Amino acid sequence: MKLILPAFLTLAAGACLAQQNTANYDESKAGEVILPAVLKSLDGAKITSSDEWTSKRRPEVLSLFQDHVYGRIQPKPDDLKFEVTATRRDALGGTATRKFIHVSLAKHPQWRGMDIMLYVPNKAQGKAAPVFAGLSFNGNHAVSKETDVPVSDRWMRPNTKNDKAVKNNRATEESRGVEASRWPLEMIVGRGFAVATAYYGDIEPDHAEGWKEGVRAALSSDAAGTVWKDGDWGAIGAWAWGLSRILDYLETDKDVDARHCAVIGHSRLGKTSLWAGASDPRFALVISNDSGEGGAALMRRNIGETTEIITRAFPHWFTPKYRSYANNASACPVDQHMLIALMAPRPVYIASASEDNWADQKGEFLSGLNAGPVYALFGKSGIGTESPPEIDHPVGDFVAYHNRTGKHDVLDYDWLQYLKFAARHFGM
């Protein structure tokens, strides 16, 4: 059966493939990359201590990212409401307790809210479990294979792998478990971690007009009439806001150790987990899986997706100002190594995939490498090697990196590294 897509989606999908084919992948044409100095303040002073970083340079870098890339971070709302809507103690074959929590804003009912799905290992037995928090592309019912998970009724992008999974931009029963391979729940819970996830479209549907149904319109003074200006938040900012609200809930749940929360995301949601980690220092550890342009990859390298391509295809993800750096990345006062540096001294893991040239694996590695001097101020070692490691050879201490064999995806291999990394840093 032929899938009928709204015109803007067919165009976006087609355009994206064409761009992937015509983008530059030749290292000799990557361009001259002179990175903005991470340890030099706007007044020209050199930053030489962790105190100077924390009190002076970090706030500067964080505001530069707000002004030029992702838009302003919104404060924690004062009308947040959490309602545990269902609890099942024998989830995942009896190994976990599963809860659903509805998050809403009491004074902003036009936002339909978000539903967190939380799995906590039963073997933790009264001891609060460290937790991974991340958003999904297809909803809670797509992450879990458990058939009593409600199917999301929110707007959804068509599923490129299974055209029966989403019809008329709504999920069908066919979409149960379509994202389960990216969320190995049994493995994560088996290692003693809890997992909290929600559908990113609950926060804001992922298309140019999606903000009108999301939290950005609800919190805007002019609701749907808003014209987004330089410095205003985009969809990545909204999704990262949602991750912080998940953490707000986790702080209230005694089964979970919210002080040990690792934020994780893949691709556009990897860009989101990085921005969440930068904007909310309560995230104790940050993971970027194949986040690419606008995520871990350096914007000054002309390899794979570029600022020009991403801001043409997905302008709603960023603050409008970011578009002005299309074909002009060297004018931007930040590059993505500075985003990684915002995590310091917290552990951060950057992962690439060997067939994911679109995300520029080397550019992702170089961001991690060039964040190293900030970690050094805290006496922490970074990625530990000047050149990208062999495929399937994870490296690094507080900044870790691997380039896994295969495609743009989240595989068990990736999770095995993240679980090891989190267990090591969380002292498990």
Residues that bind ligand GTR (CB under 6 A): 16, 267-268, 292-293, 305, 310
**Which candidate, 361, 424, 355, 377, places its Cα nearest to that of 396?**
424
| The one catalytic residue among 63, 102, 108, 408 | 408
Strand partners, 98: 88, 119
* Residue among 264, 257, 260 nearest 243 (CA): 264
* Tokens (6 digits) for 338: 């500075």
Of 50 and 336, the one with the shorter C-beta distance to ligand GTR is: 336
User: What is the DSSP annotation of 299-349?
Assistant: TTS-SSS-HHHHHHH-GGGS-GGGGGGTT-GGGSS--HHHHHHTTTTS-EE
Nearer to ligand GTR, 129 or 359 (CB): 359
Cα–Cα distance, 62 to 35 (Å, whole number)? 17
* Residue 381 falls in the annotated catalytic set: no
How would you list the strands of the sheet with 395-396, edge to edge? 80-90, 96-105, 114-121, 194-199, 129-136, 256-266, 285-289, 348-353, 399-404, 395-396
Q: Is the peptide bond before 345 cis (omega within 30 degrees of 0)?
A: yes
Query: Please, which residue, 22 or 28, has the CB nearer to ligand GTR?
Result: 22
> How far apart are the C-alpha atoms of 176 and 161, rounded to whole Å?
13
Q: Which is nearer to ligand GTR, 5 or 16 (CB)?
A: 16
Three-state secondary-structure class, residue 90: strand
Q: To the nearest whole angstrom, how small is the minimum distance from the Cβ of residue 387 to ligand GTR?
A: 25
Smallest separation (angstroms) from ligand GTR to the CB of 345: 28
**Helix H or strand E encompassing 119:** strand 114-121
Looking from the CA of 225 toward its CB, the CA atoms found within 13 Å total 2
Check if 408 is active-site. Answer: yes
Q: Least Å distance between CB 310 and ligand GTR?
A: 6
Query: In Å, how far from its chain's centre is CA 419?
Result: 17
Considering the complex, state which of residue 23 and residue 391 has its C-beta at the smaller distance from ligand GTR. Answer: 23
CA 421 from chain centre, in angstroms, equals: 18
Residue nearer to ligand GTR on the CB measure, 248 or 409? 409
Can you tell me whether residue 371 is helix, strand or coil? helix
Quote the least distance from Cβ 285 to ligand GTR, whole Å.
Answer: 22
Distance, CA of 192 to CA of 121 (rounded, Å): 6
Query: Residue 241: which residues within 8 A CB-CB, separation 6 or more?
Result: 73, 74, 203, 215, 233
Q: What are the beta bridge partners of residue 135?
A: 198
**Options 244, 267, 273, 367, the catalytic residue:** 267
Calculate the dihedral angle through the C-alpha atoms of 209, 214, 220, 224, rounding to the nearest 10 degrees. Answer: 40
CB of 91: closest distance to ligand GTR in angstroms?
A: 28
Task: Decide whether 92 or 178 has the Cβ nearer to ligand GTR.
Answer: 178
Alpha carbon dihedral 211, 214, 216, 217, in 10-degree steps, equals 80
| Smallest separation (angstroms) from ligand GTR to the CB of 109 | 30
Nearest approach in angstroms of CB 258 to ligand GTR is 27
Residue 69 burial (10 A CB sphere; 0-12, 13-18, 19+): buried
Q: CB atoms < 10 A from the CB of 10, how many?
A: 13
Q: Which is nearer to ligand GTR, 96 or 166 (CB)?
A: 166
Shortest separation between residue 14's beta carbon and ligand GTR, angstroms: 11
Query: Which of the residues are catalytic?
Result: 267, 408
